[in-house]
Every structure is written in C-alpha cells, then in structure tokens.
Amino acid sequence: MAEETKNPKVNVAILEAQLSDGPSSDAEESVEDAEDNSEKDQQRSEADFALKLVETLVGLNDQVISNYELSNRFFTIEELICFGFFAKSVPLNPLSAIYPENGFLLFKGVPVPKSVNLTSSNLAEIERTVQSSGSTGTQINQLSDLAPDMLNAYQMATQIYNDRLSKIAATYMANVKNAKTQVIEVSAAVVCGFVIILTLASLI
C-alpha cells in the first residue's frame, strides 16, 4: 500500500488508460454489430428479390400472372430489367411431353408441369413488356450493368429456378415411369385373361 501511494501519477495514468480503453472497445463492438446487421439486411433483401424473380416467372408459366400485370410486380425499371435478364437466362421448354397428357381407357394421363416450362412466346411477351416500360432510356444494356445487389439476386434466382426445374423434371419422369408400369401390368393382366378365357372355351 505504501508503494502505491508513493506513485500517484502512475496510478492515475493506469486509471486513465483503463477508462479510455473501455469506451473505445465498446464503440468498436457497436460498429462491428452495425456492420453485421447491415450485411445481413443486404443479404436478406437480395434473397427476397431473388425469390420474387422466381415466383413471378413461375406465375407467368402457370398463367396465374399475365404479362399486363408484370410491370406492377416491380417497383423500379431496374428491377423489371433484371427480371428480363433472368427470364432470358433460364431454359426454354425444358420439359417435353413423353407420355399422353390426357387419360385414355382406364389409364390416367401425365401432364407436363408448366411452372418451369417457359415457352418462347412467353419470353417474347416478357421482352416486349420490358421494352415498352421505358427501359430504353436507362443505361442498363447488359447484365454487367446491373447494380451489385441485383446481380447477386439474379444469380441466386437462376440457381433456385434451375434447382426447382431439376426436382420437377425428376418427379415428372417418375410419374411417367409409374404410368407406363401401370399400362404394362394392366395390359398383361388383360392378355392373361383372354388366354384363360380362350383356353376354357377350347375345353368346352
């Protein structure tokens, strides 16, 4: 205790250093937290816009949304242009009918899923809508002209749409396979029935 009182200047310096360190570290933490929250908000905004792009195109494919409603789905011309780029990036008619869509005899048809089956006519309508919205007056002429956040959303939307396409295509192929198996089984049963009837008839 005696040594501490002999050096009051040292003690004061230590206290001042401790006091100065406390608030600065708290300030640094608050700045880091604010940056983290801002980054999370940005990522959430990009993800929401990506889902909006996907849902809009799926709605157009399913004819739930008309091309006349398209311009009202987006708040800015830039967002609509981004949607136009996105629509042009996905495959056209990726699923073709490989089995009758309408039922026949005792069998059910297997319709081709429309939600991810963008047609060339729908794409042409989308392009006309984007052009008629006044997009020619902007400086966005190619994909790289998009703002970074929209470019990120575009990339996410493309990935989401393609993943959905893969899953739906796999389900469609499985349904077709099941339908063909049913036809073969029923046909075999019918043939066996005729054979039995003819055999019995020959024994009479």
Residue pointed to by tokens 């099941």: 178
Domain boundaries, the chain: 2-203
pLDDT of 4 reads 45
Phi, psi of 118 (to 5 degrees): -70, 125
Q: Which two tokens stand for residue 141?
A: 């002429």
Phi, psi of 185 (to 5 degrees): -65, -45
Q: Which two tokens stand for residue 93?
A: 């008619």
Write the CA distances from 29 to 18, 22, 77, 112, integer angstroms.
17, 11, 39, 55
Rounded Cα distance, 202 and 204, in Å: 6
pLDDT of 179 reads 82
Read off the pLDDT of residues 113-126 as tens digits, 9 standing for 90 and up.
999 999 999 999 99
Residue 139's contacts (CB-CB under 8 Å, 6 or more residues apart) are: 145
Read off the pLDDT of residues 125-184 as tens digits, 9 standing for 90 and up.
999 988 887 655 566 778 888 889 999 999 999 999 999 999 999 999 999 988 888 777
